[in-house]
Chains A and B, each alone.
Chain A
Amino acid sequence: MNRNTIILLIAFLVTASTDLFAEAPSFRRDVMPVFFRAGCNSGTCHGSARGKDGFMLSLFGYDAKGDYFRLTQELIGRRVNVAAPGESLMLKKASGQVPHTGGKRFDVESPYYQTLLKWVEAGAPDDPMNVPEPVEIKLEPDRLLFDVGAVAKPTVVTARYSDGTTRDVTKLALFNTNNPDTATVNADGVVTPGKRGDTFVFARFNRFTIGSEVIVLPKDSAIQWSNPPANNYIDELVYDRLQKLHLLPSALCDDETFVRRVYLDLAGVPPTVEQYRSFMSDANPKKREVLVDQLIASDEFAQVWTALWAESVRLMGGGYAPTGTDVKAAEAYYQWIHEQIKSNRPFNEFVAEQVTATGSNLTNGPANLYTMLVHNTRFTPKEFAANFSQLTMGIQIQCAECHNHPFDRWTMNDYYGFVSFFTGMKRKLGAEPREMYIFNDRSMQPAKHLVDDRPVPATVLGGEAAVPEMGDKRKALAEWLAAPDNPHFARNFSNRIWAHFFGRGLVEPVDDMRISNPPTNKPLLDALAKRFADSKFNLRALVRDICTSRVYQLASQPNETNAGDTRQFSRSRLRRLRADVLLDAIVVATSSERGFSYFPRGTKAIQYYPRTPGDTEGPNAGDPFFATFGRSRRGSICVCETRTESNLSQALHLLVGDTIDGRVGGGQVVPKLVAAGKSPDEIVEELFVRTLSRKPTSEERTAMRELIGDNVKDRKVYEDIFGSLLQSTEFGFNH
Chain B
Amino acid sequence: MKPIIAIAISCLASPAFADEKTPVNYNDHIKPIFRQHCAKCHGDDQQKAGLNLQSFEGAIKGGSGGKAVVAGRASASLLYQAITNTDAEARMPPNQPPLPEAQVKLILAWINDGLRESATSKSLAAIRDLTFKPTASAMVKPDGPPPMPGKLPTVTLPPVNHKLPIVAMDASPWAPLVAVAGQEHVRLIDIQTKKELGVLPFPEGVPHVIRFSRDGAVLLVAGGKPVQSGKAVLFDVRSGKRLAEIGDELDAVLAADLSPDQQLVAIGGSGKIVKVYGTSDGLLKYKLTRHTDWITAIGFSPDGNRLATADRSGGLHLWEPKTGGILLTLAEHKASIPSLHWRNDSRVLATAGEDGLLIWWDVVDGWPAISKPNAHPPKRPEGVYGRLRNGVLGVSFDGNGNLLTAGRDRVVRLWTADGQTTKSFEVSEAIPVTSRISHDGRTLICGDSLGELHFWTLPGTP
Contacts and interface: CB of A to CB of B under 8 A. Distances in A.
A478 B294 CA distance: 53
A377 interface: yes
Contacts of A123: 161-162
Interface residues of B, number: 33
Given A448-B385, A454-B385, 6 more contacts: A73-B449, A84-B160, A123-B162, A449-B385, A452-B385, A453-B387
Interface of B: 95, 158, 160-165, 167, 182-184, 205-206, 208, 225-228, 252, 270, 293-294, 312, 384-387, 389, 431, 433, 449, 451
B162 A82 contact: yes
Contact of A87 (B162, B226, B384, B433): B226
Nearest to A53: B270
A732 B183 CA distance: 77
A81 B206 CA distance: 9
B315 to A, nearest CB: 14
Given A73-B431, A78-B252, A92 B164 contact: no
Contact of A92 (B183, B208, B226, B449): B226
Main secondary structure of the interface of A (DSSP, over half): loop
Contacts of B95: 377-378
Contacts of B449: 73, 76
B292 to A, nearest CB: 12
Given A83-B183, A452-B385, A54 B163 contact: no
B433 A78 contact: no
Contacts of A98: 226-228
Nearest to A80: B165
A631 B29 CA distance: 57
Contacts of A378: 95
A76 B451 CA distance: 11
Q: Which of B95, B158, B205, B228 has the most CB of A within 10 A?
A: B228
Contact of B227 (A82, A99, A121): A99
Contacts of A120: 161
A275 B152 CA distance: 109
Interface string A585-619: 00000000000000000000000000000000000
A717 to B, nearest CB: 62
B312 A83 contact: no
Contact of B158 (A78, A84, A454, A455): A84
Contacts of B384: 452
A84 B167 contact: no
A288 interface: no
A77 B385 contact: no
A87 B206 CA distance: 10
A451 B167 contact: no
A531 interface: no
A93 B226 CA distance: 10
Given A54-B312, A73-B449, A89-B227, A81 B385 contact: no
Given A87-B226, A89-B227, A123-B162, A453 B167 contact: no
Nearest to A122: B161
Q: Which 7 A-B pairs have the closest CB atoms?
A: A453-B386, A452-B386, A83-B183, A83-B164, A89-B226, A98-B227, A454-B385
A85 interface: yes
Given A89-B227, A451-B386, A83 B163 contact: yes
Contacts of B226: 78-79, 87, 89, 92, 98
Nearest to A454: B385
Contacts of A79: 226
Interface string A111-125: 000000000110100
A225 interface: no
B227 A77 contact: no
B389 A69 contact: yes
A277 to B, nearest CB: 61
A76 B169 CA distance: 14
17 contacts: A54-B270, A69-B389, A77-B164, A77-B206, A77-B208, A78-B226, A82-B162, A83-B163, A83-B164, A84-B164, A84-B184, A92-B227, A92-B228, A98-B226, A98-B228, A451-B386, A452-B384
Given A77-B206, A84-B158, A87-B205, A54 B294 contact: yes
A93 B386 contact: no
B387 to A, nearest CB: 7
B204 to A, nearest CB: 12
B355 to A, nearest CB: 14
Contact of A76 (B158, B161, B165, B387): B165
A455 B385 contact: yes
Contact of A453 (B158, B385, B389): B385
Nearest to A93: B227
A377 B384 CA distance: 34
B164 A81 contact: yes
A83 B225 contact: no
A178 B183 CA distance: 50
